[in-house]
Amino acid sequence: METLAQNRPAAGIACIVVGMICISINDMIIKQLSGDYPLHQIVMCRASIGLILTLALVQYEGGFSILRTRQPLLHLLRGLLVVASNMCFFMALAVMPLADVTALFFVAPLFITLLSIPMLGEKVGPLRIGAVVVGFIGVIIMLRPWESGDALVANRLVLLLPLLAALTYALLQLMTRKLGATTKASALACYMQAVFILVSLGFYLIAGDGRFAEGTDDPSLLFLFRAWIWPGEGDWIYLLALGMNVAVIGYTLSQAYRLADAATLSPFEYVGLPMAVFWGWLIWSELPDLEVWIGMILIMGAGLFVFLREQQKSRRLARRRVNIPR
């Protein structure tokens, strides 16, 4: 089978930056809609539109024949990881400020570093392990275990949802790099949208009438289980924008991790953090409090340190290979 993985870091970085900007817009729109629609209805609408646009990209990259795969179960697992990451993130977004959720989610690069040890057999030195520990100290500061529940922006289970989203996202990106070696970006994005549609249909059949939302006032559960409704006239433009946006996100992220390694791309995902602060300030007049700022700095600093150490290590290995006698 043709190997499609490439080493084009500049193109990969461009893709990841575009993808992260689109993700921030996606998060902002979904938070706007979270008070009126169920999450699975929003996901169904955006994935259906996104799939149509992604199929056009499939035609551009080689036609429907590129959708054939010898690893359907791995693609299904990757799709389920995407769904799990999105569901956890957006359930938290219905309750928490956008910047808080995004900052906690950005432990994903640290999870990638830890998971690369058992999954990819990589060696991670004490300095990088120390940076990961610092990042998770930032998480603890943001979660404020010393505070009473009433002083927090959400209950503690909801506060853990962005971390679960980060963990499943890290697993997803490690799989993307592996599957991207034999699968084009449009096909990866197409499989992802198809899984979103299947899961959303399953939610509709089981909970689309809203019966599981009865008697609860928890915003996260209401967002997940409220009944489907026909979109209001002014909301169609948001749903259409989500669909177009998710097609760009699915393609650019899949393409980025095909073109460059995770260590190169991870730091550029932090573009999403200032974007989240910006949208929160512009639309909801939210600005992070002191603990969140400290947590953001520690998480982002730890992620960037891990990146720099990995780049330094790669350069040393490259020099050693050049100096090996032949």
Per-residue 3-state assignment (H helix, E strand, C coil) for the chain: CCCCCCCCHHHHHHHHHHHHHHHHHHHHHHHHHCCCCCHHHHHHHHHHHHHHHHHHHHHHCCCHHHHCCCCHHHHHHHHHHHHHHHHHHHHHHCCCCHHHHHHHHCCHHHHHHHHHHHHHCCCCCHHHHHHHHHHHHHHHHHHCCCCCHHHCCCCHHHHHHHHHHHHHHHHHHHHHHHHCCCCCHHHHHHHHHHHHHHHHHHHHHHHCCCHHHCCCCCHHHHHHHCCCCCCCHHHHHHHHHHHHHHHHHHHHHHHHHHHCCHHHHHHHHHHHHHHHHHHHHHHHCCCCCHHHHHHHHHHHHHHHHHHHHHHHHHHHHHHHHHHCCC
CA 166-173-179 angle, 5° bins: 155
Query: Comparing C-alpha atoms, which of 242, 203, 249 is closest to residue 226?
Result: 203
- The size of the chain, in residues, is 326
One-letter amino acid of 232: G
Average pLDDT over residues 30-57: 91
What pLDDT does residue 323 have? 47
One-letter amino acid of 38: P
What pLDDT does residue 324 have? 46
**pLDDT tens readout for residues 176-198:** 766 655 677 788 888 888 999 99
Q: Tokens 């991670």 identify what position? A: 124
How would residue 204 be classed by pLDDT, with cut points 50, 70 and 90?
very high
How would residue 284 be classed by pLDDT, with cut points 50, 70 and 90?
very high
What pLDDT does residue 112 have? 85
How would residue 322 be classed by pLDDT, with cut points 50, 70 and 90?
very low
CA distance 104 to 143: 9
What pLDDT does residue 247 have? 84
How would residue 315 be classed by pLDDT, with cut points 50, 70 and 90?
low
What pLDDT does residue 192 have? 87
What are 162's two structure tokens? 């962005």
